[in-house]
Structure 1
Amino acid sequence: MNEVFARGPSLLTRLAFVLSLSVVAMFIDTKVESVSTFRAYLTSLVSPLQYIADMPGAALSWSASRFTSRKHLLEENELLISQMTMMNEQLQRFQVIQQENQNLRSLLDAPVRPQMQKMIAELMAVDNNPYSHQIVINKGAIDNVFPGQSVLDESGIVGQVIEVGTTNSRVLLLSDVTHAIPARINRNNVTLIVNGIGDVNELSLEHVPHSTDMEEGDLLISSGLGNVFVEGYPIGVISSILRDESQPFAQVKVRPAAKLDRLKYLLLLWPVEESSEQTLSMTQDETASGEQDAE
């Protein structure tokens, strides 16, 4: 049976031929300079084929990187959103803390006499009775709070303590209709009585003769009469004076110095006598401890 295709050289012969051809090509490449130029042209001709052959792999790599990058971006986006939400929550708390810090600084910088003992209290509750202006603070008998104690904010007198519990106390505001406080005009020391009328933004002066020396803008301060309120702290400013001769007394309105509708932190004061006794007691204790150390 005749073979359709004639058999070529044997494998050994082919191998020997290829090796010989390779040796000759390497010899020519090292000895002939023009071959390098030919090789460069040949490389340029073949390079498009290399790019075409590499395109499927490059496309797959690009697609994989795109999907991976998108997934990474989504995860990073979710992480950043959660971090931003947490930071916004902290920022809100920091803003509240900053405002409270400013209020406390203002309160501590209030014009309290150096010899006065003072303590910061915080508002706990506001009386929901529209006809009674009272608040509850978080200081009580365990903090040595007592009935009749003066209560201030950073601007002026707020009211006085009327009931004392173990851990909290009730304060009657200046604006309550049952409240009255002895006052004097800072400009000329004329003594008056400031009364609440049930309005946190307005007080009044009762039974003031038309001839009383007072002007709009006069500052009213506590006179200390009655031994309830400490002397010399702002009560309010005279906002209007109506002298109607048909009426027996002038109608005088006062704008409170304290922000009675925006209370948060308050200042409790102890009388000068009590502060002096405590200072004297502390001095005696320090002297006694010093003598014991000397012995």
Structure 2
Amino acid sequence: MLLCALAASALMFVDMRFTRMENVRAQLSTLVAPIQWVVSVPSDVLNWGSLALSDQRALVDENRRLREQILTLSHRVQRMASLTAENVRLRELLSAASQNDVPFITAELLSLDADPFSQQMVIDRGRRNGTYVGQPVMDASGLVGQITAVSAYSSRVLLLADASHALPVQVNRNGLRFIVQGSGHYNGLNVLHVPDTADIREGDLLVTSGLAGRFPAGYPVARVAEVVHDPGQPFARVTATPVAQLQRSRHFLLLFPPPPAPMPGEGGWELELSEEAREAARRLVGIPSDEEEP
């Protein structure tokens, strides 16, 4: 150590007093540079890896949050067209009850059915997430279909383009109700039993009518693509295009609509009549007021 210290001191003195040592120092730095680079490689790799992983994780988390936010906003916007048309038709009913938001969870595509005659897919939500058979499935644009089979961690969805799928809809412009059935192709739906004189036009938006209680009312389903009137035929041939991106969507919403209200006389409901109504009923069937009605 003493010799090294003396040599270092001598080199420092010579470097300070003589200019020739600059060339020697430059050549020595050139020789030592590869060694320094090799020594610094592990730390550089570790720093780069940690930075890349942290940036990637942050980007993935941000991307997931943005996707969920887009789906949430799309879920709210989808009902605006239906609510606007309903408010125009019912604006005189100032006491009409407002519609509540439908709860939902997000889901992601796992796989598509390989059968060319069946339009189905598998998503990553199952019984542990509360999904059930018949649950409506949406994407950012409109209705996709409904769940037909549920396992613990995944569910099978029947797309509305499948030939075995049908649902009740209504024309958003005027409220006419029809049945839409899949055609077996992703970009085509058939509107069934449309009278030749029905007020339906190309470009009309078809939304869920809420009948049968499976699909909540007001969600976009399809847009009328073609209306063909055959002379002498009682029904027109109407085709529609789904508004949902059935072949491109990877993220979906699973809706939890409230159960349909029971009809009067079901589930323990009792129909109670006022005295005025009872008196009117007696007069209608010819029972005197002083007699007991059957």
Whether TM-score is above 0.5 comes out as yes
Superposed counterparts of 1:133-282, under 5 Å: 133-245=119-231, 249-273=235-259
Q: 1:63 deviation in Å?
A: 1.2
Match of 1:104 among 45, 61, 68: 68
Query: Structure 1: 5+ residue runs without aligned partners?
Result: 1-52, 276-295
C-alpha contact (below 8 Å) 1:115/1:272 kept by paired residues: no
Q: 1:183 deviation in Å?
A: 0.2
Q: For residues 211 and 183 of structure 1, what CA distance do their matches in structure 2 show?
A: 18
Q: 1:172 deviation in Å?
A: 0.6
Q: Could you report, residue by residue, the CA deviation over 1:90-111 in whole angstroms, capped at 9, with x for unpaired residues?
A: 6666555544333211212212
Q: Could you report, residue by residue, the CA deviation over 1:229-278 in whole angstroms, capped at 9, with x for unpaired residues?
A: 11111101112223343665333222212211123222222232389xxx
What is the letter of the counterpart of residue 103 of structure 1?
A: R
Q: For residues 72 and 225 of structure 1, what CA distance do their matches in structure 2 show?
A: 76
Q: Paired residues, what number?
A: 225
SS of aligned partner of 1:273: coil
Q: For residues 206 and 250 of structure 1, what CA distance do their matches in structure 2 show?
A: 9
C-alpha contact (below 8 Å) 1:149/1:269 kept by paired residues: yes
What is the letter of the counterpart of residue 151 of structure 2?
A: G
Residues 244/164 of structure 1: CA separation in 2 closer, same or farther (3 Å cut): same
Q: For residues 223 and 124 of structure 1, what CA distance do their matches in structure 2 show?
A: 30
Q: Could you report, residue by residue, the CA deviation over 1:34-78 in whole angstroms, capped at 9, with x for unpaired residues?
A: xxxxxxxxxxxxxxxxxxx94653322221123334654677689
What is the letter of the counterpart of residue 102 of structure 1?
A: L
Please name the residue that 1:62 is paired with: 26
Q: 1:161 deviation in Å?
A: 1.3
Q: For residues 236 and 97 of structure 1, what CA distance do their matches in structure 2 show?
A: 33
What is the letter of the counterpart of residue 22 of structure 2?
A: A
What is the letter of the counterpart of residue 271 of structure 1?
A: P
Residues 235/63 of structure 1: CA separation in 2 closer, same or farther (3 Å cut): same
Which has the larger helix fraction? Answer: 1
Q: Could you report, residue by residue, the CA deviation over 1:6-41 in whole angstroms, capped at 9, with x for unpaired residues?
A: xxxxxxxxxxxxxxxxxxxxxxxxxxxxxxxxxxxx
Q: 1:149 deviation in Å?
A: 1.5
Q: Which has the larger radius of gyration?
A: 1
Residues 58/137 of structure 1: CA separation in 2 closer, same or farther (3 Å cut): closer
Larger deviation: 241-250 or 159-168?
A: 241-250
Q: For residues 18 and 245 of structure 2, what CA distance do their matches in structure 1 show?
A: 79
SS of aligned partner of 1:60: helix
Q: Given the two structures, how large is their TM-score scaled by the length of structure 1?
A: 0.64
Q: For residues 172 and 235 of structure 1, what CA distance do their matches in structure 2 show?
A: 14
Q: For residues 203 and 122 of structure 2, what CA distance do their matches in structure 1 show?
A: 32
RMSD, aligned CA: 3.2
SS of aligned partner of 1:199: coil
Q: Could you report, residue by residue, the CA deviation over 1:133-185 in whole angstroms, capped at 9, with x for unpaired residues?
A: 11122223333322211111222111111112233221111111111110000
Residues 192/75 of structure 1: CA separation in 2 closer, same or farther (3 Å cut): farther
What is the letter of the counterpart of residue 59 of structure 1?
A: N
Q: For residues 93 and 198 of structure 1, what CA distance do their matches in structure 2 show?
A: 40
Please name the residue that 1:30 is paired with: none
SS of aligned partner of 1:268: strand
Q: For residues 72 and 105 of structure 2, what CA distance do their matches in structure 1 show?
A: 9
